Amino acid sequence: MSTRFDTSYEPQLRQNLHISGLVPPVVESHDIQIKRCLKAIHSKKTEIDKYLYLSHLRNSNFNLFYRLLIDNMREITPLVYTPVVGEACENWSHIFSEPEGMYLSWADRGHLSDIIHNWPEKEVDITVVTDGSRILGLGDLGVGGIGISIGKLALYTACAGIHPTKTLPIVIDLGTDNERLLNDELYLGLKMKRLGEKDMMKFLDELMVALKTRWPSIIIQFEDFKNPFPSLAKYQNMYTCFNDDIQGTGAVILAGVINAVRETKIPPQDQRLVFLGAGSAGVGVARQIMEMFKKEGNLSEDEARKLFYLVDSKGLVTNDRGDKLQEHKIVFSRNDNNGQQFKTLDEVIDYVKPTILMGLSTIGGAFTEGIIKKMTTFSERPIIFPLSNPVSKSECTFEDAMKHTDEKVLFASGSPFPNYEGKDGKIYEAGQGNNMYVFPGIGMGAIVSQASLINQDMIYASAESLAASLTPEERADGLLYPRINRIREVSAQVALGVVRAAERNHVARNPEINGMDDDTLVEYIKQKMYDPSAVPTEAKETEPDMWTWLTSKLSLPWSHSKL
């Protein structure tokens, strides 16, 4: 990662950096630089070419990359994150040119501590670790999954200002069950079947120690594991870590639901929720909404739980359907179905008559016209969130949801959808219920507070802060999430909520924030945020650097060269 060769640098800075002559002579404004970047992007014919251009830009001049991204969040985010990152991960071994992170394989076990020391940056604040086993809704992509770690960390930087050189993307390679990859001569990972949970935990145990030993304050974010529950259960009280698919997604969707439920004017105790998909994201979201219903609706755990109906590939999750339920589903398993089993989503919808329908199933198009239309008969403002990624896996489109509900739907999707023009010419914007609205703020909040742990209260606080962050204008426009161009401001608010929760829970260890009021603390957070437009500190050096000074004093023959 570099940023030395920037055409916006003034001549004096070029001299200080010893790059005069290595950069074209013109000194350009940031606006002109961005214009060139956008022109280059628009000239690319495929999304993957745009992705590759942006990767190259990030590696050659990360300040410019982040200026471009931050100023054009709506256009550029889909190219570095979902949906295009999904295509990149699928084709990783064919488009690969630079590592951009660490590839730690089963063959490295026993030596992870030494290998972690090969990472060239001295300071790392945060890492995103995936095992590539469930990348978005695209399944097992092996080491190609590193693209998701890179994409998420780019958003930690763009949205919450974590310095790019202090982020570390990691993929752990424990094999893959993807036959296409195993048979591909270009595949970059180990050609062996994926190891099981026991070996995964053994490997992670060693990795966690290695990371913590080199960077004692590191925040570890787990991403896109097919089975993420064991690692979260084991490490959440030992390390500063969280799982974005369970906890980040839970928080972001809770925030959207808080705002949507308010619009329906139906109190929590009268809502009924159907989830298509009962995996890490489905259960993570259900858990967080249940907490809110307990709080806001004054419900007991049992009363709140009864409002949820989870559907997986075998139908409605019930105690008596005859299979052994995975542990994470048990809490939401129904025992009031009187022996009846409901195999399809249609059957469940008729049985439950939900006011809220969530999609976290990876099944594109699962919310059919019939299902969407039925939702309007149970509630005037049905809440329909097709949250699976990327776009191809979305349970329905924004257009379909709008058309089939007579524009009454309260909508959010995992990946972005274009605006919809309503019957009266009004332009409606699709909400994006994606964990990108919270994970950067959770990470920044944990860094700023120097949190020893990331607990449920901090996750819940991130949702409350996000829900409260909408401006009156955004609310008047019917939005459930703030506009993406305000993401830095919003992430600072999310971080504030996380820091406050860390303090309440006595896990904050940064003495500098003691006694700060909210305004001071937000300013403190913002000051810690990396600013890609800031003039590098070298610009302030009018004196020659230490080496040049020393060698000139000593009149050594190699003065002015750095060898």
Ligand X SMILES: NC(=O)C1=CN([C@@H]2O[C@H](COP(=O)(O)OP(=O)(O)OC[C@H]3O[C@@H](n4cnc5c(N)ncnc54)[C@H](O)[C@@H]3O)[C@@H](O)[C@H]2O)C=CC1
Residues serving a catalytic function are 81, 152
Q: How far is CA 406 from CA 340, 373, 424, 425, 432, in A?
A: 33, 9, 12, 14, 20
- Whose CA is closest to 206, among 101, 114, 99? 114
β partners of residue 276: 311, 359
DSSP letters for 449-512: HT-S---HHHHHHHHHHHHHT--HHHHHTT-SS--GGGHHHHHHHHHHHHHHHHHHTT----GG
Tell whether 434 is in a known binding site.
yes
Judged by CB, which is closer to ligand X: 47, or 184?
A: 47
Which option in ligand CC(=O)C(=O)O, Mg ion, ligand X, none does residue 445 bind, with CB closer than 5 to 8 A by kind?
A: none
Q: Is the dihedral of CA 436, 441, 444, 445 positive or negative?
A: negative
Residue 375 near residue 346 (C-beta atoms within 8 A): no
Least distance CB 513 / ligand X (angstroms):
29
> What number of helices (H) and strands (E) belong to the chain?
25, 14
Structure tokens at 327: 């542990």
Judged by CB, which is closer to ligand CC(=O)C(=O)O: 7, or 249?
A: 249
Least distance CB 381 / Mg ion (angstroms):
29
Which option in ligand X, Mg ion, ligand CC(=O)C(=O)O, none does residue 64 bind, with CB closer than 5 to 8 A by kind?
A: none
Q: Please report whether residue 236 would count as binding ligand CC(=O)C(=O)O according to CB under 6 A.
A: no
Question: Which helix (H) or strand (E) element contains residue 390?
Answer: none
In degrees, rounded to 5, the angle at the alpha carbon of residue 263 between the alpha carbons of residues 356 and 272 is: 25
Cα gap 358→310, rounded to integer Å: 9
In degrees, rounded to 5, the angle at the alpha carbon of residue 392 between the alpha carbons of residues 74 and 379 is: 85
Residue 127 near residue 171 (C-beta atoms within 8 A): no
The residue from 434, 449, 465, 469 that contacts ligand X (CB under 6 A) is: 434
How many residues touch Mg ion (CB under 5 A)? 2
Q: Please report whether residue 151 would count as binding ligand X according to CB under 6 A.
A: no
The residue from 58, 134, 321, 404 that contacts ligand X (CB under 6 A) is: 134
Residue 110 near residue 131 (C-beta atoms within 8 A): no
Q: Please report whether residue 244 would count as binding ligand CC(=O)C(=O)O according to CB under 6 A.
A: yes
Q: Please report whether residue 140 would count as binding Mg ion according to CB under 5 A.
A: no
The residue from 125, 131, 224, 312 that contacts Mg ion (CB under 5 A) is: 224
Which residues, 6 or more positions from 269, have their beta carbon under 8 angstroms from its beta carbon?
293, 297, 298, 299, 303, 307
How many residues touch ligand CC(=O)C(=O)O (CB under 6 A)? 9
Cα gap 327→344, rounded to integer Å: 22
Binding mask 77-116 for ligand CC(=O)C(=O)O (x = CB under 6 A): -----x----------------------------------
Encode burial over 512-543: b for 16+ CB neighbours within 10 A, e otherwise: ebeeeeeeebbebbeebbbebeeeeebeeeee
Which option in Mg ion, ligand X, ligand CC(=O)C(=O)O, none does residue 449 bind, with CB closer than 5 to 8 A by kind?
A: none
The residue from 71, 131, 173, 245 that contacts ligand CC(=O)C(=O)O (CB under 6 A) is: 245
Cα gap 257→169, rounded to integer Å: 31
Count of residues in the chain: 563
The residue from 232, 254, 281, 307 that contacts ligand X (CB under 6 A) is: 281
Q: Which stretch binds Mg ion (CB under 5 A): 222-230, 289-297, 402-410, 553-561?
A: 222-230
Q: Please report whether residue 258 would count as binding ligand CC(=O)C(=O)O according to CB under 6 A.
A: no
Q: Please report whether residue 363 would count as binding ligand X according to CB under 6 A.
A: yes
Least distance CB 425 / ligand X (angstroms):
30
Q: Please report whether residue 311 would count as binding ligand X according to CB under 6 A.
A: yes
Judged by CB, which is closer to ligand CC(=O)C(=O)O: 271, or 491?
A: 491
> Using CB under 5 A as the criterion, which residues of the chain lie in contact with Mg ion when the complex forms?
224, 245
Residues that bind ligand CC(=O)C(=O)O (CB under 6 A): 82, 136, 224, 244-245, 389, 414, 434-435
Residue set of the binding site for a divalent metal cation: 223-224, 245
